Amino acid sequence: MKGFLSGLLRLRRGPWELLASCLIGLGVFMLMQPFVLWAFTWSFLVTLTGTVMFIITSHFPE
């Protein structure tokens, strides 16, 4: 956990990509879940944030 946080602070690719992947996964789950409509409403914003973050952070140093 400490390594993950320091990676985030030092703008390292691994932890940032992991964070972006989690956001994309969460967004897709929110889009397709059958439980609450508000999650569906906010899903696109979460997925878009994750996707843009993934594109940017994949250019960070290892």
Partner 1 sequence: MADTPIDRLARATPSSLARRVRGLSDRAIAWVFVTPTILLLLAINIFPLIWTVRLSFTNFAANKPNAEVKWVGLRNYTRILTDPDIWQTMQATAHFLFWTLLFQVVIGFSLAWLINRKFRGNDLLTTLIVLPMMLSPAVVGNFWTFLYEPQIGLFNYAVEFFTGIPASSFSMLGSVTLAPWSIVIADTWMWTPFVMLICLAGLRSIPDYIYEAAEVDRASKWRQFWTMTVPMVLPFLMLAVLFRGIENFKMFDLVVQLTGGGPGSTTLLTSIELKREAFEKWRTGYSSAYAIILFVTVFGLASIYVKALNKVKER
Instruction: Name the minimum Å distance from CB 40 to partner 1.
Output: 5
Instruction: Name the minimum Å distance from CB 31 to partner 1.
Output: 6
- Point out which residues bind partner 1 (CB under 8 A): 17, 21, 24-25, 27-28, 31-34, 37, 40-44, 47-48, 50-51, 54-55, 58
Instruction: Name the minimum Å distance from CB 44 to partner 1.
Output: 5
- The Cα 26–Cα 10 span in angstroms is 25
Neighbour tally for 4: CB within 10 Å: 13
User: Of 42, 22, 12, 18, which Cα lies nearest the Cα of 30?
Assistant: 42
